[in-house]
Amino acid sequence: MTAASPRAPVAGRRELVLVMLRGGLVPLLLVDLVFCTLHVARWLEVLESDLLLLNVDRGAAEWWQYLKASAVAVALAIMSARSRQPVYAAWALVFAYALLDDSLMIHERGGFRLAHFLGFVGAIGLRGQDFGELMVSAFFGVPLIALCWWAHRRSKPLAQSHSLQLLWMFAVLLFFGVVVDMGHVALVSAGIGFRGMNVIEDGGELFAMSLATAYGIGLLRQWGSSMAERQGRTTSTATAKGSTSASTRVMNYDPFDGRSRRLLDPIDPPPDTHPVAVTPAVARQIIDSFVKRGGSAHSAAGATVWVVLAWCKKQGVAYQLIRHSTGELSGFYIEKLR
């Protein structure tokens, strides 16, 4: 037991990586790396367009970030609708807000106005506006995280495990977007900032959003595959049940069910036959032979012809009664029609 316990987290991490790879983690990170490279190239003045910088509003990298935030929000919303687990919808709202905050500059504009309205002053290397931005982010962020917690408690264990994975990914995003951002401001205020901080801050946000995007898309693809597989198994099971039911209907011995040893009187015997009474067990043997061979031959007396005909009529099985007479080989043949 002690040797097996440490392996559980490893299996969880392996599954996490597989889900993200399925969601396109590698190409997402490669595109992020391209934008970081373009930023450095512009910084070194190898390229001329400022839109290639990571920290430029409405730049190429920022539009790429908008696309990823939209993708993860939509993927989680679809997951919630299909799985009926509220925690996915809650996280979809979180990433939707992250998209709106970046595109509309909610915390920057709100923080600027709040700082001027309340008269915030700079401290510990941060500007008054920075404190305003933190308050605006907390104003919107705390209710959203509370909503995630509420939805988490009301979701199934599997959805809860996915929620915890999304939590740490969002925490990484906040680390670069808030902690590193504020640290950058403080370093610049202290006169010890360096230009590479933009790559760490904005590049870190790119990579963190790629993790969440790959995970959200991977979850949706995994759920779709599992549902398709489940439907396939259901169809196979239904087909098997249908075949079994059909077989059961064919081998339904009514009106010769039961274990009674009492002789059964002939039921509507055809003319020109000399029917005899049989027990239910004998009748079932005759029917088994008829079904297996697709027909049954009877003597000229036709003593048990009535057994097969009575069973066919009761079960709705099509048949053809043939009377043949070839010298001494006269008799009856009942053919089972397919």
Total domain count, the chain: 2
The per-residue pLDDT for 6 is 39
Residues 220 and 267 in one domain: no
Residues 208 and 273 in one domain: no
Tell me whether residue 135 is in a domain: yes
Mean pLDDT of the chain: 84
Q: Is the pLDDT of residue 333 over 90?
A: no
Q: Is the pLDDT of residue 22 over 60?
A: yes
3-state secondary structure of 334: strand
Lowest mean pLDDT among 97-101, 192-196, 315-319: 192-196
- Angstrom CA distances, 217 to 106, 210, 303, stand at 26, 10, 72
The whole-angstrom separation of Cα 13 and Cα 62 is: 29
Residue carrying the six token digits 């009761």: 314
Report, in this order, helix, strand and coil percent for the chain, each rounded to 5. Answer: 70, 5, 25
Residues 138 and 17 in one domain: yes
Give CA 69 to chain center in angstroms: 20
Tell me whether residue 242 is in a domain: no
Tell me whether residue 265 is in a domain: yes
Domain that holds residue 178: 9-224
Tell me whether residue 20 is in a domain: yes
Residues 158 and 216 in one domain: yes
3-state secondary structure of 145: helix
Tell me whether residue 4 is in a domain: no
Name, in order, each residue with C-beta under 8 angstroms of 28's C-beta and a sequence gap of 6 or more: 68, 210, 213, 214
Q: What is the mean pLDDT of residues 12-32?
A: 91
Residues 19 and 93 in one domain: yes
The per-residue pLDDT for 151 is 96
Helix (H) or strand (E) holding 68: helix 60-83
Cα Rg for the chain, rounded, in angstroms? 38
Residues 58 and 202 in one domain: yes
The per-residue pLDDT for 253 is 83
